[in-house]
Amino acid sequence: MTQENIRVRIAPSPTGDPHVGTAYIGLINFLYARQRGGKFVLRIEDTDRTRFVSTSEDMIFDALKWLGLSWDEGPDVGGPFGPYRQSERTEIYREHAEILLANGTAYRCFCTPEELEASRKAQMAAKQPPKYAGTCRNLSPETIADHLAAGKPFTVRMKVPDGSTTFRDELRGEITFDHTNVDDQVLMKSDGFPTYHLANVVDDHLMQITDVIRAEEWISSTPKHVLLYDFFGWQKPRFWHMPLLRNQDKSKISKRKNPVSLVYYRQAGFLPDAVLNFLGLMGGGMPQEQFAAEKFSLEEMIQHFDVKNISLGGPVFDLTKLKWLNGEYLRALSAEGFYEALRSTILSDTYLKEIAALTQTRIETLGQFGNLTHFFFTDEVSPAPEVFLPKKRTIEETLAFVAEQITALEGCDWTTSGIEAALKQLGEAQSWSVKENFMLMRAIVTGSTMSPPLMESMVIFGKARTLDRVRRFLDAQKKAASQKK
């Protein structure tokens, strides 16, 4: 038996803050590679230009480095199978789409988004499963030539044959999908970018990935991928689908119900070792006899973790337990180490300097520094209704407005002007005065009606932490409101 060169990858999309789910899947892949002397590849899947966030890629790099999950090949370090950014590989996908077009396993589709939407609606109304109607499946060469000559935009779809696809999931065994449930997936969008399905298969093959370890949500599209490998005549990798991290209510983990940004965990003062340890607890994987206390390092995970032991129920990401674990790591630090941890995060010079600048004209003795800035250093503030509720507003409309504020903040540039513009625009649309609008936000973020400049404070406090604070406020108030009823 020849020694197989194990190669695995994680493929995050730069669509926002780096996600705990990425860290989780990253950890599993990292361990898998390290345990087998394989390579761990980082690939950026930036094929969706509509959701692209320019700052995202660097945040992903930083977050993974912070955790200590280093990659052997990637956009920043290069490697023999680059480029590792899909937006730089469009030519490759185009060529491969041509191959499929030529061998008859794919076809051009000239349907417009509007037509597709209408068709989908009709199917839904008729209680039919929404599926591509196949309008362009068998166009004559002449029609295609005409459309092309007319410059009509088109997509490339895969031509799913009759039958069924069975593949092996390393954790679950064989899974079969009847092709009546596999749609003629778009492979190339009309903007010339590939969809995930094409890019993922092409890259995994070209990058010689041996094991695709990804989240469970991909199971239903795996038949499409398997079909594509067959269309190309390529050898398939092994598939491992990891359970999805969950909110308390068991739904797929989401920012609405849980902090999911790694930036948040970092800024809120979690230690990377604790986060990694906690992630390693999700789904099991570590032998319990040897680690009954459930505390272990990355090195110990490399030594003892076994992907095959992952249990398939979706684990609830329990912040309470993460905090306990983090506390354990904090206590294990030397006094000096603990102080250093503080100084490099929540009491860093840069953080302190930025905060100090806001207070100089607002205090009369240095001893008052804390009075004005405590909210920068606490995990939560809980303003009473007298503080946050505008005089002429009901609690219901206020909370509804806060929900809107969250949405506005999520989408804005995290600068003073960006925040101000987003909030003002929302206020105007909803007929909230600037004063009501900003005072409410001030109360939620600082816990008080008196504070340093709001926008500056929010910028310094950080997007991830600010949003978490506002979301938690909303959540708590909603609960309080519903209990009253």
Partner RNA sequence: GGCGCCAUGGUGUAAUUGGUUAACACGUCGCCCUCUCAAGGCGAAGAGUUCGGGUUCGAUCCCCGAUGGCGCUACCA
* Residues 208-267 within binding reach of RNA (CB under 7 A): 216-221, 243-244, 246, 249-252
Binding footprint of RNA, residue count (CB under 7 A) = 72
Q: Does 54 bind RNA (CB under 7 A)?
A: no
Which region, judged by CB under 7 A, interacts with RNA, from 134-142, 289-297, 358-366, 443-451? 289-297
Closest CA to 136 of 119, 116, 111, 101: 111
Query: For residue 16, how far is the Cα from the chain centroid?
Result: 7
Please state the closest distance from residue 190 (CB atom) to RNA, in A. Answer: 3
DSSP string, 393-456: --HHHHHHHHHHHHHHHHHS-SSHHHHHHHHHHHHHHHT--HHHHHHHHHHHHHSSSS-S-HHH
Q: Does 120 bind RNA (CB under 7 A)?
A: yes
Q: Does 170 bind RNA (CB under 7 A)?
A: no
**Of the candidate residues 315, 383, 452, 462, the single one contacting RNA (CB under 7 A):** 315
Which region, judged by CB under 7 A, interacts with RNA, from 70-78, 305-313, 364-372, 395-403? 305-313
Q: Does 167 bind RNA (CB under 7 A)?
A: no
Which region, judged by CB under 7 A, interacts with RNA, from 74-82, 277-285, 386-394, 408-416? 277-285
Reported as type and span, the H/E element at residue 159 is none
Whether the CB-CB separation of 42 and 237 falls below 8 Å is answered with no
**Of the candidate residues 28, 32, 47, 270, the single one contacting RNA (CB under 7 A):** 47
How would you list the strands of the sheet with 155-158, edge to edge?
106-109, 155-158, 186-188
Q: Does 48 bind RNA (CB under 7 A)?
A: yes
Tell me whether residue 253 or residue 402 sits nearer to RNA (CB atom): 253
Which residues does 17 contact at the CB level (< 8 Å), separation at least 6?
Answer: 56, 59, 260, 261, 262, 263, 264, 463, 464
Tell me whether residue 48 or residue 420 sits nearer to RNA (CB atom): 48
Which region, judged by CB under 7 A, interacts with RNA, from 262-270, 282-290, 387-395, 422-430? 282-290
| Beta strand ranges found along 237-382 (DSSP E) | 238-242
Tell me whether residue 129 or residue 233 sits nearer to RNA (CB atom): 129
Whether the CB-CB separation of 400 and 430 falls below 8 Å is answered with no
Tell me whether residue 108 or residue 463 sits nearer to RNA (CB atom): 108
CA atoms within 13 A on the CB side of 404: 19
Q: How many CB atoms lie within 10 A of CB 305?
A: 22
Please state the closest distance from residue 110 (CB atom) to RNA, in A. Answer: 8
> Cα–Cα distances in Å, from 128 out to 48, 124, 185?
29, 6, 18
Tell me whether residue 321 or residue 374 sits nearer to RNA (CB atom): 321
**Of the candidate residues 54, 140, 162, 331, the single one contacting RNA (CB under 7 A):** 331
Measure the CA–CA gap between 292 and 271, rounded to whole angstroms. Answer: 21
Q: Does 127 bind RNA (CB under 7 A)?
A: yes
Whether the CB-CB separation of 282 and 317 falls below 8 Å is answered with yes
Q: Does 285 bind RNA (CB under 7 A)?
A: yes
**First CA to last CA distance, the chain:** 69
Task: Tell whether the torsion through CA atoms of 203, 206, 212 and 218 is positive or negative.
Answer: positive
Tell me whether residue 218 or residue 234 sits nearer to RNA (CB atom): 218
Q: Does 337 bind RNA (CB under 7 A)?
A: no
Which amino acid does the sequence have at 470?
V
Which residues does 107 contact at the CB level (< 8 Å), separation at least 6?
Answer: 101, 136, 137, 138, 139, 156, 157, 159
Q: Does 294 bind RNA (CB under 7 A)?
A: yes
Tell me whether residue 180 or residue 344 sits nearer to RNA (CB atom): 180
Tell me whether residue 300 or residue 318 sits nearer to RNA (CB atom): 318
Whether the CB-CB separation of 161 and 133 falls below 8 Å is answered with no
Catalytic residues: 255
What x/- string results for residues 172 through 191 when contact with RNA is judged by CB under 7 A?
A: x--xxxx--x-x--x--xxx
What x/- string results for residues 4 through 43 when contact with RNA is judged by CB under 7 A?
A: -------x-x-x----------------------------
Q: Does 150 bind RNA (CB under 7 A)?
A: no
Whether the CB-CB separation of 317 and 20 falls below 8 Å is answered with yes
Q: Does 314 bind RNA (CB under 7 A)?
A: yes
Task: Tell me which residues in 413-442 interact with RNA (CB under 7 A).
Answer: none
